[in-house]
Amino acid sequence: MAIHFSVTGKQMDVGNALSQHIETNVTSLVGKYFGSGIEAHAVLSREGGHLYCCDLSVHIGRGIMMQASEKDADPYQASDKAAERIAKRMRRYKRRLRDHHNGLEHKFQEALQAQYAILAPETEEDEEPGIDPDGGQPMVIAEMTTEIPTLTVGEAVMRMDLADKPTLMFKNSAHGGLNVVYRRKDGHIGWIDPRQGPSGQA
């Protein structure tokens, strides 16, 4: 299956040579661990006048997204570092990714549809521009829909790690309840299951 790849620049021009380098490198690294078709997108930007940042996203089938962001004084090195971070995660989860992919369609049939909103941040100003003065609620910048997948706890941790996210909500395949996994400041993974009481029993 053909790979759909795009490289864009954020307030900077990305030449053909750099675009081709990123596409070739990512395709080669990811192809070692997952042979099916993928969709990938890289965004290059300048930071602080001397650093380049590469935000790389790679999709492998439905529901699996990997993300990495790296910086370097050389845009080629920034993109190489981001690709290697993704490849490292793929090496870690290679077998589980293939097993997960085989049962993916059934899991998405059980996914929950949910509303997803982006809220304006609160500030320290007295007028609190991020709060609706009438209702006292955060102001919504954008609204969209998302899917809450049905996963085991291990699959949820894997997906959170691959996407480099701080938290993930999922429907626990063991009992159907909503759960959350998140990365703690000490590096460990937290797991919230409202069905579990203090004794560990539902």
| CATH code (residue 93) | 3.30.160.100
Query: Has residue 103 got a pLDDT over 60?
Result: no
pLDDT of 200 over the 50 cut: no
The rounded distance, in Å, linking the Cα atoms of 47 and 143 is 29
* Residue at 15: amino acid letter: G
Matching residue, tokens 């990512």: 26
> Do residues 45 and 95 both lie within one domain?
yes
* 96 and 8 both lie in a single domain: yes
Predicted local confidence at residue 72, as pLDDT:
96
* Per-residue model confidence as pLDDT tens digits over 135-174: 667 777 788 888 888 889 998 999 898 888 899 999 999 9
141: domain CATH number is 3.30.505.50
Q: How many domains does the chain have?
A: 2
Indicate the average pLDDT of the chain.
81
41/62 Cα distance (integer angstroms): 15
Q: Which residue has the tokens 């997952």?
A: 34
Q: Do 65 and 33 belong together in one domain?
A: yes
Residue 10 to residue 52: CA distance in whole angstroms: 11
* Domain presence at residue 150: yes
Report the pLDDT value the prediction gives residue 20, as an integer from 0 to 100: 94
**What domain range includes position 130?**
103-192
Query: Is 157 part of any domain?
Result: yes
Sign of CA dihedral 103, 181, 139, 11: negative
Q: Within 13 A of 116's CA, how many CA atoms are on the CB side? A: 8
Lowest mean per-residue pLDDT among 20-24, 57-61, 88-92, 101-105: 101-105
pLDDT digits (tens, 9 = 90+) for 30-82: 777 766 557 899 999 998 778 999 999 988 766 678 899 999 999 999 999 99
Q: For residues 67 and 81, state if they share a domain.
A: yes
d(CA 70, CA 151): 29
pLDDT value, residue 123:
64
Q: Is 142 domain-assigned? A: yes
Is the full-model pTM beyond 0.85?
A: no
Are residues 111 and 87 located together in one domain of the fold?
no
Residues 6 or more apart in contact with residue 56 via CB below 8 angstroms: 22, 26, 40, 41, 42, 43, 67, 68, 69, 70, 79, 82, 83, 86
Query: What is the 3 state secondary structure string of 112-126?
Result: EEEEEEEECCCCCCC
Whether 174 is covered by a domain: the verdict is yes
The pLDDT value given to residue 59: 85
Half-sphere exposure of 143 (CA within 13 A, CB side): 5
Among 67, 100, 133, residue at a domain's last position? 100
Same domain, 111 and 95: no
Strands of the sheet containing 51-60, edge to edge, are: 4-10, 38-47, 51-60, 65-72
180 domain-assigned: yes
In a domain, 202, yes or no: no
Which whole number is the average pLDDT over 71-95?
90
Q: Is residue 185 part of a domain?
A: yes
| Same domain (yes/no): 136, 166 | yes
Residues 95 and 112 in one domain: no
Same domain, 110 and 180: yes
Query: Which is higher by pLDDT, 1 or 47?
Result: 47
| Domain termination residue (choose one: 76, 100, 124) | 100
